[in-house]
Amino acid sequence: MMGVVAEEMQAWVVERPGPIDGAPLRKVRRPVPEPGPGEVLVEVEGCGICRTDLHLCEGDLPPKHPGVIPGHQAVGTVVSRGRATNHSTTTDRTTNSTTNHSAAANADGTDTRDSTASGDHSTTTANRTAIGDSAAITDRTAVAGRAASGYSTSGYSGRGDHSGSADHTASAGSGDRTGSSGSGGCSVSADRDGAGRFGVGDRVGIAWLRGTCGVCEFCRRGVENLCARSAYTGWDADGGFAEYAVVPEDFAYALPTDRPAIELAPFLCAGIIGYRSLLRANLPPGGRLGIYGFGSSAHLTAQLATAQGAELFVMTRGEQNRVLARALGAVFVGETADRPPVPLDSAIVFAPAGDVVPYALEAVRPGGTVAVAGIHLSDVPALNYERHLFHERDLRSVTSNTRRDGEELFRLIERLDVSAHTTAVPFGAVDRALADVAHGRASGSLVALR
């Protein structure tokens, strides 16, 4: 419990990268890590499972450290802090560290920089209440109730445990927003020891991006996702498939305390990357969005788009993915190679398969955009200029995300009716869950819970 940190913990490590069916992961006991300066130690409640974890286990992303702990969608509570950082130094180093929240707020056209410059977390809370749609808070409570009743929390079976789908259908667009004031989602703790951003007891999220240089042209230009010295959770440093994890506090997200970890975890990568993909896809208001592949990130992105008026077209393999797509309001659902009945404004390729790209390019209208969301894609076949690119169709990649993307997303989901379709995975079954992702047996988002 709070204040008592174990010395040892259970963790999954990538022992020998290779095919997931060859058991590249092993569950081990490790010493609980010590937070360094500017870092916090987080007791993990749950950690979402991402295809990128699979790429790390299988060696598609070359290992940077032997025995690394994957997992980069961790929700937990701060249990100890490293030495407080000299925050002004940190701020210099990163364009939006202390001003993280204010940077995000500015994207809404609300200038909050002055009020948040202190890095005072309670000030941040006020901002979020002011910016967000406070009515969404009661909606969140409703969402929590659904999850408690809909999802199995024991006996992970992988296939077939999709009772949440029906729940989701019922809840989508229920519009149960009755208005309320509230915290706006930032947890605030009075228990502070130092000048840092988070205190013991604060609820935080650990995401994929965990470090940038802060001084290169990309960092200074607001595209820190392109920083050559960026660092990633579960790749450059140990991640969240463990009982405890350390995170640089400038890269952690303040999370609400009133939503279960299983609901929040998928947003920490699947949601954030999906949100950035949506931005990169250049979807016009009310436009037609095609989504290729319908896994964890795609099903959240689809909701972000439709909640803002987009028309959704989903091309994916696997009947359970198509069922989920229909439940989430897709007006057309087909196989990967199926041509949508009307030209699309934008498309996002979530499937890690390069051979999907030409289909997506052919499906968009002149001037349309195709964004490739994945960190890893098999080779794109030869493209025909006339058929696939001419008429100013754009093909764009999506590379990681900025913290601003994440802050914007967490504000958006307070306002929009967006929730993850989740399946709980017992901590001991992380390896099996990754195999399910590899073999297309997973639907929605899988979250490992302790």
Taking the complex as a whole, the smallest distance from the CB of residue 218 to Zn ion amounts, in Å, to 5
- Written as six digits, the tokens of 404 are 């601003």
Q: Is residue 413 at the binding interface for Zn ion, with CB under 5 A as the rule?
A: no
Taking the complex as a whole, the smallest distance from the CB of residue 365 to Zn ion amounts, in Å, to 30
Q: Are 205 and 253 in contact (CB under 8 A)?
A: yes
Q: What gap in Å lies between CA 172 and CA 45, rounded to an integer? A: 26
Pairing of strands 39-49, 445-449: antiparallel
In the stretch 253-282, what mask flags binding to Zn ion with x, by CB under 5 A? Answer: ----------------x-------------
Taking the complex as a whole, the smallest distance from the CB of residue 100 to Zn ion amounts, in Å, to 16
Q: Is residue 213 at the binding interface for Zn ion, with CB under 5 A as the rule?
A: yes
Look up residue 128 and give its amino acid: R
In the stretch 345-384, what mask flags binding to Zn ion with x, by CB under 5 A? Answer: ----------------------------------------
Among 20, 219, 283, 327, interactor with Zn ion by CB under 5 A: 219
Q: Give the number of other CB atoms < 10 A from CB of residue 76.
A: 28
Size of the site for Zn ion (CB under 5 A): 8
Taking the complex as a whole, the smallest distance from the CB of residue 47 to Zn ion amounts, in Å, to 11
Pairing of strands 364-372, 344-349: parallel
Q: How far is CA 132 from CA 53, 136, 264, in A?
A: 32, 8, 17
Taking the complex as a whole, the smallest distance from the CB of residue 280 to Zn ion amounts, in Å, to 16
Q: Decide whether 407 or 417 has the Cβ nearer to Zn ion.
A: 407
Q: Decide whether 234 or 340 has the Cβ nearer to Zn ion.
A: 234
Taking CB under 5 A as the binding criterion, the range among 49-57, 166-174, 239-247, 380-388 that sits at the site for Zn ion is: 49-57
| H/E element, 363 | helix 357-363
Q: Is residue 25 at the binding interface for Zn ion, with CB under 5 A as the rule?
A: no
Among 41, 42, 44, 50, interactor with Zn ion by CB under 5 A: 50
Q: Is residue 52 at the binding interface for Zn ion, with CB under 5 A as the rule?
A: yes
Radius of gyration of the chain measured on its C-alpha atoms: 21
Q: Is 129 helix (H, G, I), strand (E, B) or coil?
A: helix
Taking the complex as a whole, the smallest distance from the CB of residue 93 to Zn ion amounts, in Å, to 9
Eight-class DSSP state of 21:
G
Q: Are 16 and 414 in contact (CB under 8 A)?
A: no
Taking the complex as a whole, the smallest distance from the CB of residue 309 to Zn ion amounts, in Å, to 27
Q: What gap in Å lies between CA 387 and CA 369, rounded to an integer? A: 14
- The residues binding Zn ion (CB under 5 A) are 50, 52, 212-213, 216, 219, 227, 269
